[in-house]
Structure formats: structure tokens, C-alpha cells
Amino acid sequence: MATITSAAATTLRLASPNGLIARTVLPHSPRNATPLEAPMISLNNMFSADLEQRKEVARHIRSAATTTGVFYIKDHGMPESVINNAYQASLDFFRQDMATKIKAKAPGSNNFAGYFPPKAMMINPTEGYDVKEMIITRYDPRYDPCVDDPAAIPGYIAKGFRYQDMPWDGTSSVPQFKEAFIKYYQEGLKLTRALMRAFALSLDLEETYFDSKMRHPNINTNVNYYPAIEAPTGKAPSAFGSHTDFQVFTVLWQDHVGGLQVLNREGQWINIPPKPNTFVVNIADLMQRITNDVYISPVHRAHNWTGTERISMPLATGFGNHEEISVVPTCLGADGKAKYDTITVDEWVTRRLDTMIKLQSEAA
């Protein structure tokens, strides 16, 4: 990794579950990622009956996860009609007036679900409020294709579900919205569970190693709306501030407009432009932790100063809140020791939120 010595470089403060961290950012304009920095990986063989073909996909994933932590996937199996319907329903919702959209806001201040208006979030307090709007939906066992009887889920697991917070009635002004997003969520569950098996193979683990942790995953199916804003002069507000993701990995669909940027190891912002019929996958903090820092959770942000509205639809994927997490055996150091202790996912998320609050207090 190159040594960063530029006198004009800036320091970016970030929240992490391990405390506040700092990254140095070079003063260069963002450039497009190279194929090595953001490779294209076909998932066609991930669905093969041949284990060796599935392992070949896993090897490509490992290479990307240890380089920048971000890659494209194609041949992913999600029907184009499902994506298009969710995209159009999203546009129809966000193009409404605020008085209509705000009906989809969850009651209370601590419910991480429903509609969030512009400047409702500050993902990185050192960069100010985010101008994007969003809807967040939580894991809902009622619509999980792998759950036969949601009522039979043990109470100690079910208590971590927050799907009840989602005010679906508030989206009824767009009649197709709920159905379109439930379909996207269901297809997203299929895709992320399959990817989790590929990640297991990439770590030289049994393919089913993470299956139990993905039985009732902590997955948020979100839609981000970036309003049409012309390129500003001087210091611009943040569309979606610099951050790393909480969980295991994120699968992102983005429209044709673009705006996603990743900070590479050298401290250079690189563009991850949209490519037809693909998703972008990025490693998240929990994956970095359970791999003993072998896999990289990249810092990323989104800007949209094109004058054109933008939609992205991330599937933020994690293990069930009740699950214990520890460094996997194939990633222990040469001394056989793990850098990190065993905790639950719920404890992990709490640590991350606490650090965000600390960063907010410092920025105030």
C-alpha cells in the first residue's frame, strides 16, 4: 500500500464498532475504478451442481474482497421485471408531495423503518446532513419464502424483528409499492443467501457454514432517492455521507445516473459507475471482523450533482440479531489467535450506533 504524504490531503473521521477511526483522503478528483478495483463476477456457476464450479466463483469473490472490498455481479438470477417494478414504484412514491410521503414515516424517533425525508439522517456528522430521502424495510418472516410458519419462530428470535414498525399503509398512495417491494425483498433473500454460501466457500469453509445465521437474517431492503440537484460551487452538502456498512455485505442496485464512490487503500475516491443488469456488492464491517480483517469493508459515499434524480436499492445483509459472531477458524492468525472477541449481532450493532453518537457529539 502506498504511503500517503500529500500536504493537501485531508482526514476523514468515521464511526466503527471498534471506535472512531480516521482515513486520509488524497486531494485528487475521483476517477473511475479499474477492473481490478471493481471486478465483474459472473454468478452463473454459483448455481451450478458442480462444486468445483461454485468454488471458482468463490475464488473471484475472495480476490475482490481482499483488494478493495467491492465488486459487480452479473448473471445473478433476479428477474429484471422484479427490479424494474420496484424501481418504478420507488419513483412514483418519491415524486409525490411531502405531505403524502410523510404518512409512511414510522411513529417514534427510534424506529429505523419507513420513510425518512431529506436531512433526516447524518450518516457522517463531519460532512453534515444527507440530502437523500429513503424508505427502510426490515426483515419480515411473513414474506420469507423459507419460513413456513412465522408464529412458530421462538420468542428469543422473534423479539429482534422490527417489521411491525413499517407503516405500509402510508405507501398506499402508490398501490403497487408494497407488492413490488415485497417481491424485491423475496428475490433479495434468495440472492443474498446464495451469496453467503459463496462467501463461505471463499473462506475455505463448508458451503453451509453460515446457513443457520441466515435463517432469519438482519436484512434491510431499502430504497434511496437522490433529488435532482445541479453541481454546486464550493463546499457541497452530502448526498449520502462517507461510511462503512454495519453488517456482513450489501448488494446494491443502482439506476443509470450513478454517484457511488469508494475510498481505495491509497486514499483515492474511485467511481463505481452503473453497469446494465448488474448489482454492486461491498463487504461490510461484520464480514471484516469475522475474517480477522482479511476482507475489507470499504469506505463509500454517494454524490448526485447531475441535475437528474437517482434511485438506488440496497439489500443490507447481516446475520440474525440473536446470533453469536466470532472470527471464523480459517482466518485465525499465524499464532492461532483471533483479533476480536465473540459477541452477538445485537451487541455489535449497539456498539456501532454508540460510536456514531460519539462522532455526532464531537461534530456538534
Whether the pLDDT of residue 2 is over 60: the answer is: no
Write down the pLDDT at residue 3: 45
**Which percentage of the chain shows pLDDT scores above 90?**
71
pLDDT in tens, 80-124: 999 999 999 999 999 999 999 999 998 875 567 899 998 877 677
Write down the pLDDT at residue 362: 65
Residue 37 and residue 264 in contact, taking contact as beta carbons nearer than 8 Å: yes
Q: At what angle do helices 51-65 and 177-202 cross, to 10 degrees?
A: 90
* 251-279 burial code (b ≥16 CB/10 A, e <16): bbbbbebbbbbbbbeebbbbbbbbeeebb
The amino acid present at 128, given as its one-letter code, is G
Regarding the domain with residue range 28-321, which homologous superfamily does it belong to in the CATH classification? B-lactam Antibiotic, Isopenicillin N Synthase; Chain (2.60.120.330)
Whether the pLDDT of residue 179 is over 90: the answer is: yes
Quickly count: other Cβ atoms within 10 Å of residue 283's Cβ.
Answer: 27
pLDDT in tens, 256-295: 999 999 999 999 999 999 999 999 999 999 999 999 999 9
**Which percentage of the chain shows pLDDT scores above 70?**
92
Residues in the chain: 364
Q: Which residue has the cell 454546486?
A: 232
pLDDT in tens, 212-244: 999 999 999 999 999 887 766 555 556 778 889
> In a 3-state reduction of DSSP, which class is residue 230?
strand
Identify each DSSP E strand in the chain by its residue range: 10-16, 19-25, 31-32, 40-42, 70-74, 114-116, 133-137, 220-226, 240-243, 249-254, 260-263, 269-271, 279-283, 300-302, 310-317, 324-325, 343-344
pLDDT in tens, 274-283: 999 999 999 9
Mean pLDDT of 133-140: 95
Write down the pLDDT at residue 279: 99
pLDDT in tens, 302-324: 988 888 999 999 999 999 999 99
Write down the pLDDT at residue 363: 58
pLDDT in tens, 69-80: 999 999 999 999
Mean pLDDT of 24-47: 95
Write down the pLDDT at residue 233: 56
For the chain, what is the mean pLDDT?
Answer: 91
- Which of 47-56, 123-132, 288-297 bottoms out in mean pLDDT, i.e. has the lowest? 123-132
pLDDT confidence tier of residue 1, bands split at 50, 70 and 90? very low
- Which of 20-29, 87-96, 146-155 bottoms out in mean pLDDT, i.e. has the lowest? 20-29
Whether the pLDDT of residue 7 is over 90: the answer is: no
Q: For 186, phi and psi rounded to 5 degrees?
A: -65, -45
Write down the pLDDT at residue 343: 95
Whether the pLDDT of residue 21 is over 90: the answer is: no
> In a 3-state reduction of DSSP, which class is residue 153?
coil
pTM score over 0.85: yes
